[in-house]
Amino acid sequence: MQDNSGNNHLRINKYLAQCGLGARRKCDELVLTGHIYVNGQKITELGTKVDPKVDKVEYKGKQLRPIRKLEYYAYCKPRGVMVTNNDPEGRPTIYETLRRDGLDADLLKYVGRLDYLSEGLLLLTNDGDLIHALTHPRFQIKKVYMVRTGRPLDDGDISKLTSGIESEGQLLRAASVNSIDVKQEQHWYEITLFEGKNRQIRRMLEGIGQEVRRLRRVAFGSVKLGNMNAGEYRELTVREIGGLKNTGFKNR
């Protein structure tokens, strides 16, 4: 940490992301709250740079080292599972279900949260730079959902959804809403978002007096859910990973 001008120095949040501590914004929080030590000294400056070959960086008393093998998974999240590490109410989490099914995902971070009752495609990786690119508001990543509603949407409803619904001080907007003929007496729609606000589709539909009976994410950027069943996971292909990186990094 002595000479910040050298080519080997990395900004602290980037180094922490490479060590698997999450996206850069999460790593910034760890620095600001005094959880990171460099060469035995607590740091709280976001502009701190480190030389991975010289400096000793610690978190919770353990020395951090970059994770050499990057992992990328698609997971079909079931309904009734929490996207979190620990749930205070004791509900099952994705990490518990994945561990039970043979994948030790404790060092992987999820990309794009789904709420308890929602299901479908969730990405998991230890690539902190990619997580940052796919979740930062400035990078608009296409996400596609299959949504079953309580009653049909009319043209006025669809116009409101694509023009924008005000909710909790935010303007929520769908990129497109298209009717899908799946089953008789069921009202299914394909809704595309380029935003990623908390419970966005549910809040939008609540704003027009609609009930969401089922919500399933079927695509995230270049990755599609395909015929994966609830609880299944698979490694992403090289092509899918490249597509995510091209999408997430192209506007930098």
Active site residues: 115
Neighbours of 124 (CB within 10 A): 22
DSSP 82: B
Contact in structure between 163 and 151 (CB atoms under 8 Å)? no
Q: Are 128 and 17 in contact (CB under 8 A)?
A: yes
CB-based burial label for 105 (10 Å; 0-12, 13-18, 19+): buried
Q: ∠ at Cα 53 (47, 56), nearest 5°? A: 65
User: How many angstroms separate the CA atoms of 60 and 33, rounded?
Assistant: 12
First to last CA, the chain: 27
Structure token pair of residue 92: 């099952």
Distance, in Å, from the CA atom of 251 to the CA atom of 160, rounded to the nearest integer, reads 29
